[in-house]
């Protein structure tokens, strides 16, 4: 009986290790704030710009590039993305999540004075190599306060999908 229990224990340990190795490829999550230091406005610009979130809190799987601001899907799956924007009145704060050059959702707020904020999120089905990023609309601006991280971009794999 002891030998049988030992075999079951060894089998279970090998199965657990196999699952760990398989799941390591599925560990994809990132979260980043706009500025590593300092405070100030970003924008307005005469054209849309891709925002580069340089203050990386988490980048499991290294699928987010803080130099370009672009997330590149390493495997096919359902992913969740969120953005938040913050600014001050007088000029609207508007930024949008894009998938492969196509705008998907936006976060927008506008008022004559005082602070303004908005957020939005979306679940996207991505193929390997699809890209997701955030663009600040032309004529809009956001404001970041040092170390407060009001402007953020985050994403993570919900679950992988099989190749068809």
Residue with tokens 């500025």: 35
What topology does CATH give the domain 28-160? Answer: Jelly Rolls (2.60.120)
Number of helical (H) and strand (E) elements in the chain, helices listed first? 1, 13
pLDDT tens-digit readout, 84-132: 999 988 898 999 999 999 999 999 998 888 888 999 999 999 999 999 9
Determine the Cα–Cα distance for residues 20 and 7; give it in Å rounded to an integer: 20
Residue of 147, 156, 149 lying closest to 82 (CA atoms) = 156
Q: Domain segments of the chain: what residues?
A: 28-160
Residue 155 CB neighbour total at 10 angstroms: 24
* pLDDT average, residue stretch 132-142: 95
pLDDT at 14: 62
Residue 142 contacts residue 33 (beta carbons within 8 Å):
no
Q: Looking at per-residue confidence, does 77 or 114 come out higher? A: 77
Q: Quote the pTM value.
A: 0.84
Sign, CA torsion 120/121/127/130 = positive
Q: How confident is the model at residue 147 (pLDDT cuts 50, 70, 90)?
A: confident
Instruction: List 157's β-bridge partners, or say none.
Output: 79
Statement: residue 162 has pLDDT above 60:
yes
């Amino acid at each position: 009986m002891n030998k049988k229990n030992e075999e079951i224990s060894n089998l279970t340990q090998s199965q657990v290790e196999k699952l760990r190795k398989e799941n390591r490829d599925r560990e994809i999550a990132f979260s980043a704030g706009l500025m590593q230091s300092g405070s100030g406005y970003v924008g307005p610009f005469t054209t849309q710009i891709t925002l580069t979130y340089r203050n990386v809190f988490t980048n499991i799987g290294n699928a987010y590039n803080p130099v370009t601001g672009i997330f590149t899907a390493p495997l096919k799956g359902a992913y969740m993305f969120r953005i938040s924007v913050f600014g001050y009145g007088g000029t609207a704060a508007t930024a949008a999540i894009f998938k492969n050059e196509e705008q998907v959702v936006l976060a927008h707020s506008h008022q004559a004075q005082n602070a303004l904020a908005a957020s939005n999120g979306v679940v996207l089905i991505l193929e390997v190599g699809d890209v997701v990023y955030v663009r600040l609309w032309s004529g809009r601006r956001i404001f970041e306060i040092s170390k407060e991280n009001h402007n953020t971009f985050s994403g993570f794999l919900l679950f992988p999908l099989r190749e068809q």
